[in-house]
Structure 1
Amino acid sequence: MSPHRVFERLLELPEVVGTWHFTDKESKGTQVDVPLATAIHAWISGETVPDLARAWLPGVPAEWALEQTVRNISSGFEHALSRVTSALINLVNTSPLMAPATPRLNTHTAWYIRHGVDIEHALALLTSGIISRCLAHSVGRRAAQRTDRSEPGC
């Protein structure tokens, strides 16, 4: 997705190494490449975890694929990658080399990765006590559509 492969480069940092790793079998399995940028896009777009497991590991037994998907989402997205992404965004956005008029990176990006959403409304729901990512996506998108069309509330 990204010609600069920023997320892949972040995976090389010592604090992130090993948090994104898939194999085809539980015991002595061969490593399976699951492209990180594509996986992030699918995760934040609201795909369910079982659907992600099937898409990321199509030739792997369903239980093993699901177990790895959950582990990688937890260690990769919800922890390590969201944290280093946040730090990177902060460093870039506060750099003294940036001209005042230069556009800044979206400060919500790390939160989107952590929570698996791609819209502020859904993020607000998830950080306010809603625990269903599916519900947050659905309600968040409807709220964003209403906001975009400037419809009055009920």
Structure 2
Amino acid sequence: MIQDFLLKYLAATFVVVLIIEPFFAGHLRPDSSILGRAEMFSNLRYHIGVVIPLFLALGTLSISSRRVNRLSGYADRIHELMLISRELSADDKKASLQKAGSMNYLTEANFVEFSRVKVVTPTGNVLVKDLSLRVESGSNLLITGFFLENIVIYIFTFF
């Protein structure tokens, strides 16, 4: 916002003052005839009409570069998520083959339990190395903060 104001308006105003100065006090000052004044205003309007759009275009370019940088960050994050998704699907295929070979059975219970679960942020920071949690049916549990999102992801992943 400030950069936009400085580049578009403040710089354009400064340049307009620089353009106007030779017409009113410098060597481009017209003679006292009507034709001289008309020629001065015509030249003045032309120069200002060229400079103002130039600075407006520079301001637009600066805003566009910030938008492109932000979009590049989004594209990097999407690419990272796609890679992680491919890794997880490959891990799921391996896990399903292992489950089929080891004859694991899924049982129903009246509780939700995590045993020795590692909680990691998307950036790779380990929040909890060894989480064991058991919540019986009918009991209440309050989880707040960023940890809540990871717990919910684990619950929906496994159940």
Does the pair score TM above 0.5? no
**TM class by shorter-chain length?**
under 0.3
Larger Rg: 2
TM-score, length-normalised on structure 2? 0.22
Q: Counting helix residues as a fraction of each chain, which structure ranks higher?
A: 2
Of Structure 1 and Structure 2, the greater strand share is in 2
